[in-house]
Amino acid sequence: MDLRIAEEKIDEIGFLNVEIDPTLDLFAEIEKLKKEKNAVLLAHYYQEPDIQDVADYIGDSLGLAQEAARTEADIIVFAGVHFMAETAKILNPNKKVLLPDLKAGCSLSDSCPPPVFKQFKEKHPDHLVISYVNCSAGIKALSDIICTSSNARQIVESLPEDQKIIFAPDKNLGAYINKVTGRSMVLWNGACMVHEIFSLEKITKLKNRHPDAKLIAHPECEDSVLRLADFIGSTTQLLKYTQTDTSNSFIVATETGILHQMQNKSPRKTFIAAPPDNACACNDCPHMKLNTLEKLYLCMKYELPEIVMEETTRLEAKKPIDRMLEMSKQLGL
Binding at 193: pick from ligand 13P, ligand SF4, none (beta carbon under 5-8 Å per type): ligand SF4
Residues forming contacts to ligand SF4 in the complex (CB under 6 A) are 46, 81, 106-108, 134, 192-194, 255, 285, 287-288
Residue 180 interacting partner from ligand 13P, ligand SF4, none (CB closer than 5 to 8 Å by kind): none
User: Contact between 134 and ligand 13P (CB under 6 A)?
Assistant: yes
Cα separation, 115 vs 139, whole angstroms: 9
Of 146 and 251, nearer to ligand 13P (C-beta) is 146
Nearest approach, Cβ of residue 132 and ligand SF4 (Å): 9
H or E, element range at 186? strand 186-187
Return the number of the residue (218 or 314) whose C-beta is nearest ligand 13P: 218
CB 235 within 8 A of CB 199: no
Strands (E), 85-156: 96-98, 128-132, 145-147
Please tell me whether residue 130 adopts helix, strand or coil conformation: strand
Do residues 72 and 104 lie in contact, with contact meaning Cβ atoms separated by under 8 Å?
no
| β-sheet bridge partners, residue 58 | 43
What DSSP character marks residue 276? B
> In the complex, what is the shortest distance from the CB of residue 28 to ligand SF4, in angstroms, rounded to a whole number?
29
Distance in Å, CB of 134 to ligand 13P, minimum: 5
Residues 166-225 binding ligand 13P (CB under 6 A) are 192, 218, 220
| Partner from ligand 13P, ligand SF4, none binding residue 148, C-beta < 5-8 Å depending on class | ligand 13P
Q: Which does 101 bind (CB under 5 to 8 A by kind): ligand 13P, ligand SF4, none?
A: none
DSSP codes of every residue in 316-329 = HHHHHHHHHHHHHH
Q: How far apart are CA 25 and CA 5, in angstroms?
A: 26
The number of residues that bind ligand 13P (CB under 6 A) is 10
Q: Which of 4, 6, 5 is nearest to 295 (CA)?
A: 6
Tell me which residues in 66-125 interact with ligand 13P (CB under 6 A): none
